Amino acid sequence: MKIAVVGATGMVGKTMLQVLEERNFPVTELIPVASEKSKGKTVTFNNKTYEITDIQSAINQKPDIALFSAGGDTSLQYAPLFAQAGTTVIDNSSAWRMKEDIPLVVPEINASGLSKAHKIIANPNCSTIQLVMALYPLHKKYNIERIIVSTYQSITGTGKKAVVQMENERNGIKGEQAYPYPIDKNCIPHCDVFLDSGYTKEEIKLMTEPNKIMNTNINISATAVRVPVVGGHSESVNVQFSNNFELNEVRKLLADSPGIVLQDNPDTLTYPMPRYAEGKDDVFVGRIRKDDTVENGLNLWIVADNLRKGAATNAVQIAEYLINKKLI
């Protein structure tokens, strides 16, 4: 299996390589791709060193799968060229997610809709993935009518530049800034760019992508906030169902769902935190309680490592599904 990783030197790209290695993905040939400034650099995979190549060379080598994490513009330009060469592209940017003929996939929910004809597959937004992982089993049982979600998103979601800014602030070093405000000891209600509506692009992703993945038409309202942590994204989620529910049944549904870890015991102070989600592929759910201000209301707290299940792991799981179902 010939695999290209486009954006191999970025935070998600590096995590993709790590996840491929950890999961013993059947890579017979690795093609790491990065921008011109990375020319001559190398990456290590399965104790072998590979030299970074340019994207056109990667296309010419006709990989079986290309895992993309190089930004929307790169994806829009080059994903179709890989597809024309017979490569299946799994893209981590927002470029293809809401295009009607492109599948937006979380394997535990909707991978069964994939076919050999799908040569470009979109990986959802990191915050979206953990949200739908927790809510889909509940929706199937109780029918969700409305979702209000507030996110507390790791600075790693912005990229290396933001992580360096935070580290510089903690060490009293002046340097290049990803944000016009301090990150450390601060919360910045600004993820991605602002639109005319006053919402950011990140908030719009959270309000639209879940419905495409779950094949629903749920009303969703979102506020996305950047916080000075590196372990993962956290979400405070308020859900209103059509049907009544019992909390014990909700907990059992979540505990029995693949990829979900229930951490919900106030007596022992057990609840999800990004510090302990870091490096893990599961989605952690806790602080489960009824919202008595509305009919059939529920509150949850959802945490996941945004670089893993929120990006790299989900993309690799899509690739695994394609191979297992002989779609490649």
Rounded Cα distance, 73 and 89, in Å: 15
Q: Catalytic residue among 126, 139, 190, 191, which?
A: 126
What is the reported pTM?
0.97
Rounded Cα distance, 92 and 311, in Å: 7
107 shares its domain with 141: no
68 shares its domain with 180: no
146 shares its domain with 216: yes
Query: Residue 190 catalytic?
Result: no
**Sign of torsion over alpha carbons 12, 14, 20, 26:** positive
Helices (H) and strands (E) in the chain, counts: 10, 13
b/e sequence 226-263, b meaning 16+ C-beta within 10 Å? bbbbbbbbbbebbbbbeeebeeeebbebbeebebbbbb
Per-residue pLDDT at 299:
98
Structure tokens at 164: 């360096």
**198: alpha, beta or left? (left if phi > 0; alpha if psi -120 to 50):** left
Q: Catalytic residue among 118, 139, 191, 233, which?
A: 233
95 shares its domain with 132: no
b/e sequence 107-125, b meaning 16+ C-beta within 10 Å? bbbbbeebeeebbbbbbbb
Structure tokens at 175: 């340097």
Rounded Cα distance, 137 and 250, in Å: 9
Query: Residue 233 catalytic?
Result: yes
317 shares its domain with 265: no
142 shares its domain with 118: no
171 shares its domain with 40: no
From residue 148, give the alpha-carbon distance in Å to each of 132, 153, 222, 236. Answer: 13, 16, 6, 8
Per-residue pLDDT at 312:
98
Contact 19, 313 (CB under 8 A): yes
Q: Residue 159 maps to which CATH number?
A: 3.30.360.10
208 shares its domain with 87: no
For the CA atoms of 63, 67, 71, 74, the dihedral, rounded to the nearest 10 degrees, stands at 10
**What total of structural domains would you count in the chain?**
2
Rounded Cα distance, 127 and 143, in Å: 21
Per-residue pLDDT at 185:
97
164 shares its domain with 267: yes
52 shares its domain with 184: no
Q: Residue 70 maps to which CATH number?
A: 3.40.50.720
Structure tokens at 217: 């038409």
Quote the longest CA-to-CA distance of the chain. 60
Cβ neighbours, 10 Å, residue 275:
11
Rounded Cα distance, 31 and 13, in Å: 12
248 shares its domain with 186: yes
Rounded Cα distance, 198 and 224, in Å: 12
Domain boundaries, position 76: 2-124+311-324
120 shares its domain with 131: no
Structure tokens at 205: 């992703």
**Per-residue pLDDT for the chain (328 aa), expressed as one digit of tens each?**
999 999 999 999 999 999 999 999 999 999 999 988 887 899 999 999 999 999 999 999 999 999 999 999 999 999 999 999 999 999 999 999 999 999 999 999 999 999 999 999 999 999 999 999 999 999 999 999 999 999 999 999 999 999 999 999 999 999 999 999 999 999 999 999 999 999 999 999 999 999 999 999 999 999 999 999 999 999 999 999 999 999 999 999 999 999 999 999 999 999 999 999 999 999 999 999 999 999 999 999 999 999 999 999 999 999 999 999 999 9
